[in-house]
Structure 1
């Protein structure tokens, strides 16, 4: 992206296009009309409406040749200048100093404003923003999530709650999602601010384009006006991060087995409906082939319309998949420690439950596209595990029909029992 080297805020009015100062384009009507003339932004362009709005609000302008260049990358300095001009964004309670030494003169005030509004934390950098470099999607996620945490303290809490969550992005399952960006990626996915690409990667290292930024501006302003609790996806990500399961969000009918149905002599204090009490702890197994722990348990209701689906649906379930008798999908991440040797069938005998079943992994295309760890990747000849500590996702069914055994009953070595049933 070409820029003239100017001094002061007037440099934001880039004569060859780019980010502009709010007063450099004339009336909003003229701006809106200008976008309609961009040769490379037809009305059918996926971001046409957002580009129109962004130009109208003074965040961008076109180039002298009549183009907008929607696919061109945006630099950190340019994005900071845009974020710094979001008028509804409050200032952060703790103000950090702009100590960056590599910000061009034209962008200094914009970067300072973005810092003041909480989007950028100089403490995360070593004195240099690398302001002229293209902004990556990972850094964009971080900036936007930090901005949300200033708008509402519950967004700040959400950033903490998702620390141990499962993120429906290919990089998470392949171990390539950087830990310092994971929480921010979870929040922007959970709110719908950003999404995975067609290849199922979030693309933290990919650059952010002018068209994407135009869309993100509008989305951010909308999300910032919405309470975190109003996003089901974010609620699921927080629940999994904190407890290991999204059961309470997707299947709230499942509750702890009532005390009234136990014998009076039974010590009911050992019964729990809190999955945190058994997550990542050694469970009692029916057979003795391996010790077993459950890292995460994801439940998906396949019957709701797309807007109400679990945020995990795209990573586990294909559109064509249909279940019978009202069952929900149950996907469990197992952490097994094989004592001698164990085959697939013996893994399936560890628990006597249609819901918690290590026998098979999903065969959905979605599961493969997201590269979720599959049992087949861990089996050698004759279906015998070729590793002693297999970690993979299994598939089961969560039933509501009492004739099909809907109880989920897991017990720890110390006697703690996780026991939930549909009420």
Structure 2
């Protein structure tokens, strides 16, 4: 795919209060960085390079007072007009019709083009775009990922695959991420197109600024030219969405347990290495204090660096922390149906005799606390007694690779299937 740009200079007026001359225009980001200067965009600004590049390519102009106003919000009409001028964005196979009644005259063509290119789906609105309103990040994620789905049908499939995934953003863990935006946020994060802020919030309700748009346009161009399968984070999010776990990506050496290593009491014909078959099923427990289900199971390798890290690392593990003897972290989201008013955390730990999935303990990292992940401490009171009858929280255990410590991870369901895997050489 060729480099994406907006043709002509007509789009510039959409995002300016006036026009400022910027000297000669080069053909590279480096040239933009050396020839374009704004009083409020020092070289140390986090988006300085992207801003200068966006101006050089014609997405923005500065203001007559020599400023760029990087923190100013961008309206829906303005963003739609920019997206509508991405020349290498293909047209959607079945685009909607621009039936919006509140789009200003100057933006009608741009909004129609954005619809034609798949960024905006008019059927998601009720005749009004609220075009003059500032565009919020949640809606931005929807627009951009719908654009990706137009470029590559596998991105469209990814938007479906992540429906039931775990998203490493504070809004997800606190239950404040709108269902209508969840899939788009997941794909946007999985590709690196968008990310969380320092406060671990994705900020779906926060407005999109001019600086952010400058960065996003550059990132979108890159992502649109990249196959979804090349993004490890997106692969994890898809796998968790479809199966409930990322173990096949993070710990592929764990395979179906051989018959001779499975308890004779288990019908081996019902043994599977597909976690989806036991996800949200009733697990047979060693004690009868509570019924137990596992909603999601996340594996994190603390030894992985850079792009090899799990997308879930920042949400569960503190930077620089490393487990001993090659073990990986095992984080299971458990759901209990407590049968006794006096059941405590210690008794929860006796439900499964497994070092890998231990409902007695939760992650105690600063990272997990910052993301507001539900912990056993949130659902227990004095002396660890459960305060609610149906708690859902994250537990922590270890997935071993040391031959002296390796044991099969086995979950036998009341419904029939048994999930059992063990590390292979």
- For this structure pair, what is the TM-score category when the shorter chain's length is used for normalisation? over 0.9
Flag the 1:70–1:291 CA change in 2: closer, same or farther, 3 A: same
Q: Is the 8 A contact 1:18 1:61 kept in 2?
A: no
Q: Counterparts of 1:366 and 1:409 in 2: how far apart (Å)?
A: 29
1:388 aligns with 2:422: no
Deviation at 1:367, TM superposition (A): 0.6
Q: Is the 8 A contact 1:18 1:60 kept in 2?
A: no
Deviations 1:134-179 (A, max 9, x none): 0000000000010000000000000000000000000001110000
Deviation at 1:322, TM superposition (A): 2.0
Deviation at 1:53, TM superposition (A): 1.2
Deviation at 1:372, TM superposition (A): 0.3
1:193-204 map, 5 Å: 193-204=193-204
Q: Counterparts of 1:390 and 1:33 in 2: how far apart (Å)?
A: 53
Q: Is the 8 A contact 2:334 2:393 kept in 1?
A: yes
**Structure 1 equivalent of residue 284 of structure 2:** 284
Deviation at 1:45, TM superposition (A): 1.2
Q: Counterparts of 1:269 and 1:321 in 2: how far apart (Å)?
A: 40
1:346 aligns with 2:343: no
Deviation at 1:37, TM superposition (A): 2.2
Q: Is the 8 A contact 2:295 2:334 kept in 1?
A: yes
1:252-267 map, 5 Å: 252-259=252-259, 267=267
Deviations 1:286-321 (A, max 9, x none): 111001000000000000112211000111000142
Q: Counterparts of 1:167 and 1:128 in 2: how far apart (Å)?
A: 30
1:99 aligns with 2:99: yes
**Structure 2 equivalent of residue 29 of structure 1:** 26
Flag the 1:35–1:204 CA change in 2: closer, same or farther, 3 A: farther
Q: Counterparts of 1:349 and 1:325 in 2: how far apart (Å)?
A: 25
* C-alpha RMSD of matched pairs (Å): 2.2
Q: Counterparts of 2:104 and 2:269 in 1: how far apart (Å)?
A: 64
1:373-412 map, 5 Å: 373-412=374-413
Flag the 1:136–1:317 CA change in 2: closer, same or farther, 3 A: same
Q: Counterparts of 2:205 and 2:216 in 1: how far apart (Å)?
A: 17
Flag the 1:220–1:33 CA change in 2: closer, same or farther, 3 A: closer
**Structure 1 equivalent of residue 157 of structure 2:** 157
Stretch deviating more after TM superposition (310-319 or 27-36): 27-36
In the alignment, structure 1 segments of 5+ residues that lack a partner are: 1-8
Deviation at 1:122, TM superposition (A): 0.5
Secondary structure of the equivalent of 1:387? coil
Q: Counterparts of 2:16 and 2:371 in 1: how far apart (Å)?
A: 38
Q: Counterparts of 1:406 and 1:272 in 2: how far apart (Å)?
A: 16
**Structure 2 equivalent of residue 224 of structure 1:** 224
Q: Counterparts of 1:155 and 1:332 in 2: how far apart (Å)?
A: 28
Q: Is the 8 A contact 1:378 1:390 kept in 2?
A: yes
Deviation at 1:199, TM superposition (A): 0.8
Deviations 1:75-121 (A, max 9, x none): 00110011111111100000211111111111111111100000001
**Structure 2 equivalent of residue 176 of structure 1:** 176
Flag the 1:379–1:262 CA change in 2: closer, same or farther, 3 A: closer
TM-score normalised over the length of structure 1: 0.93
**Structure 2 equivalent of residue 362 of structure 1:** 363
Q: Counterparts of 1:19 and 1:315 in 2: how far apart (Å)?
A: 43
Q: Counterparts of 1:19 and 1:391 in 2: how far apart (Å)?
A: 54
Q: Is the 8 A contact 2:11 2:59 kept in 1?
A: no
Flag the 1:197–1:33 CA change in 2: closer, same or farther, 3 A: closer
1:190-339 map, 5 Å: 190-259=190-259, 267-339=267-339
**Count of residue pairs brought into register by the alignment:** 412
**Structure 1 equivalent of residue 127 of structure 2:** 127
Q: Is the 8 A contact 2:244 2:296 kept in 1?
A: yes
Q: Counterparts of 2:219 and 2:73 in 1: how far apart (Å)?
A: 19
Q: Is the 8 A contact 1:11 1:106 kept in 2?
A: no
**Structure 2 equivalent of residue 372 of structure 1:** 373
TM-score normalised over the length of structure 2: 0.92
Deviation at 1:403, TM superposition (A): 1.8
In the alignment, structure 2 segments of 5+ residues that lack a partner are: 1-7
Secondary structure of the equivalent of 1:29? coil
Q: Counterparts of 2:264 and 2:316 in 1: how far apart (Å)?
A: 42
